[in-house]
Structure 1
Amino acid sequence: MKLDMPFILNPDKLIDVAFRKASKEASSLSIKKVSKLVRIRKKEEKKIKSVSSTIKKHLNKVISRTPKVDELPPFYRELINVVVGIDRFKKSLGAIKWAVSKIRYLERYYSYKVRTSREEKEVYRYRREFYGRVSSILRQIEDEILFLKEARRKISKFPDIKDLPTIVIAGAPNVGKSTLLRALTGAKPKIESYPFTTKRILLGYFEHNHRKYQVVDTPGLLDRAIEKRNPVERQAILALRYLAQIIIFLFDITEICGYPIDYQLRIFNEVSSLFNVEVLPIVNKADITEKKKIEEFRIKFGRNFLTCSALQREGIEDIKREILKKMGEL
């Protein structure tokens, strides 16, 4: 599913749009055979109702089209909490609802005042008061609107997770996870030779016997307690927890990645113990790794693993076969 939020105007822009529209609508209002006072009342009341309608419509669209956090699948709910913050997200939406309610009340109050005014200057004064109070309300929630605008930008980058068999690639930073994603699926993530190039979850797909498989590339994991991990790392944890049916754990035993083998093994052991899914260990960069070093790692690791060169596309078909075998497709 793909999460989306509507475009949100800044308070000053929304005020400007509403006031301009109100002036235009009032100017085009045709009122005949009534006294000057009645005509002024009708035009000023039209402005009040138009401003109220424009602002309420925009804010209500923000409320209605923003994902209901409590109704989202656990992965997306937790992702919003990690990247945006659920409590602040709900608080900001609550501020929008408060503003709509206040403006609705002010519209009724000042419309009545304008309709029952006995002097022209009183009509104009009430309409100006309404404009001032509405502007004040929007500026009171400016921080919340700006927060939601930033939340919208972040949420728009969330992955479009599909209901498919899912393989999640994990490992320390810079071990070649994004390169493996590209080799397995043909996806084109940004790849650089420094840690944390992947700052969010990336997706790719491959097919076998007309069935589609989803591969998830996660940000690199560091060897530290979950509660001490930053938002980038915690996205990886969420993918492992909620999406993975198989985890590919990628090692770089050349240590070019900048993380010693023992460090990578600690991360592997943590992943294997925390998540109740099959973990497939793979040694990457086999094209530049001495055979002796691979054998030494085999003894140290104490279990079977595959080798590959994601960059050179070597061993990729073996990985796919192993994935399909573990998923019962072969």
Structure 2
Amino acid sequence: MYMSFQKGFYIPKVEELIDNAFKKARDEASKVQERDFNRRIIEKEKTRVKIASEEITGTLKNIANKFPNISELNPLYKSLLANSLDIIQLKKALSHLMSSSRTCDELKTQFLAAMFRVQNKNGISKYRNEFYGRLVSVVKRCKASFEIIKNAMKNMAEIPKIKNLPTILLIGCPNTGKSTFLKAVTSANVEIQSYPFTTKRLQVGMLTEKFLEFQLLDSPGLLDRPEEKQNNIEKQTTLALKTIADSLIFIIGANENINNQINILKRFKKEIKYKPFFIVINKIDLVDMGELKEIESALKNYLPQKTTLFKLSLNKAKEQELKEIKDEIYNLNKSWYTKKGKENIKSVF
């Protein structure tokens, strides 16, 4: 299930929900038409109980029902949410809203039945005041659940819109130029800074090449350390690699420690075994020819012989250099559009 969490839904404050419900109840009660004064008061109070309860019950149910069903989400979305949220706590909050809505409905039934037996305006107003007090108490107990759900919506809004398209994951150490690559190849509007760890979440860029559409994902930089020691930012890259990446582009920083970068390649050997990929050595203007040859030699000692390798400085890339990279993206991923495309990908190791 591919979807976007960019457009959420409004979750009011508890006090706002109560005020709105009581206002609507008061407005609806003012429309009651009864010739007998005493009877008119009784019907107005019943209307206020009915409308206030229905407004609050409806809002609580609406929030709980509109929230995406986590069990039906795409594996990446589910993993990203679990990475940033306490899923059990969130489920309890949603369940609490549903049970609270039922409590409000039961209170309405209980008090309307009691009010049916009352024949004077003083007695009926007493019941309505008591009902309002009970209703407010139930809603105020939802305050913590509201905050949990609001926080979840905020986290979900940061998850990019990922389409069911061939997905190319950009992977590498911090400050190697992954965001620069995404911007150069797809014209995506991404933040680029000269310091590491600028990218803190997955970012999407779209590339149309020879009438086919491809989806590139910029990912947070990885450090040379085991997966179990990764922080939540790094884990986004690992999750994308394991769940939705159809192919990979490793961005190597020529001015960064090559051994650390090769260690990252080695660490994910199992995950990328059946995924096509190529290498981009970036920032070659920051090293001399001797250093560049050492980097190439170190990579070739590890990579399969036919691995495509590009050498350039992305911030100064020529149009022809970018065209060659786009052609390689097309060639590696065009089979996705055929029925047996994914089945035909052979191991590159």
- Per the normalisation by structure 1, the TM-score is 0.92
Q: 1:273 aligns with which of 263, 266, 270?
A: 270
Q: 1:282 aligns with which of 280, 283, 302?
A: 280
* Residue aligning to 2:16: 13
In the comparison of the two structures, how many residue pairs are matched? Answer: 323
For 2:180 and 2:312, how far apart are their aligned partners in 1? 11
Matched, 1:261 2:258: yes
* Residue aligning to 2:181: 180
For 1:126 and 1:145, how far apart are their aligned partners in 2? 28
For 1:287 and 1:196, how far apart are their aligned partners in 2? 22
For 1:328 and 1:157, how far apart are their aligned partners in 2? 29
- State the SS of the aligned residue for 2:269: helix
Deviations 1:239-297 (A, max 9, x none): 11122111111111212xxxx32222211211233334223222111233322111011
* Residue aligning to 2:345: none
Q: 2:328 aligns with which of 318, 322, 326?
A: 322
Matched, 1:225 2:226: yes
Matched, 1:251 2:255: no
Q: Percent identity?
A: 31
* Residue aligning to 2:26: 23
Q: Could you list the runs of 5+ residues in structure 1 that have no partner in the other structure?
A: none
Shift of 1:328: 5.0
CA contact (8 A) 2:42 2:120 kept: no
For 2:323 and 2:268, how far apart are their aligned partners in 1? 24
Q: 2:289 aligns with which of 288, 291, 304?
A: 291
Runs of 4+ in 1 over 3 A off after TM superposition: none
Q: Where does 1:97-246 land on structure 2 (aligned, <5 Å)?
A: 97-246=98-247
- State the SS of the aligned residue for 1:265: helix
For 1:229 and 1:110, how far apart are their aligned partners in 2? 55
- State the SS of the aligned residue for 1:272: coil
| Cα distance, 1:128–1:215 mapped onto 2, change above 3 Å | same
Q: Could you list the runs of 5+ residues in structure 2 that have no partner in the other structure?
A: 336-349
Q: Which amino acid aligns with 2:270?
A: S
Two-structure CA RMSD over aligned residues (Å): 1.7
Q: Which amino acid aligns with 2:271?
A: L
- State the SS of the aligned residue for 2:314: coil
Deviations 1:95-117 (A, max 9, x none): 11111111110111111122212
* Residue aligning to 2:4: 2
- State the SS of the aligned residue for 2:270: helix
- State the SS of the aligned residue for 1:207: strand
Q: 2:312 aligns with which of 308, 311, 314?
A: 308
Deviations 1:46-67 (A, max 9, x none): 1111111111222222122211
Deviations 1:41-100 (A, max 9, x none): 211111111111111222222122211111112111112211223212211111111111
For 1:229 and 1:144, how far apart are their aligned partners in 2? 30
- State the SS of the aligned residue for 2:115: helix
For 2:107 and 2:312, how far apart are their aligned partners in 1? 67
| Cα distance, 1:219–1:41 mapped onto 2, change above 3 Å | same
Shift of 1:323: 2.2
Deviations 1:136-184 (A, max 9, x none): 1111121110111121122122111111111110111121111100011
For 1:31 and 1:86, how far apart are their aligned partners in 2? 52
Shift of 1:320: 1.8
For 2:227 and 2:86, how far apart are their aligned partners in 1? 17
CA contact (8 A) 1:106 1:130 kept: yes
For 1:291 and 1:136, how far apart are their aligned partners in 2? 73
CA contact (8 A) 1:178 1:217 kept: yes
- Per the normalisation by structure 2, the TM-score is 0.87
CA contact (8 A) 1:44 1:123 kept: yes
- State the SS of the aligned residue for 1:104: helix
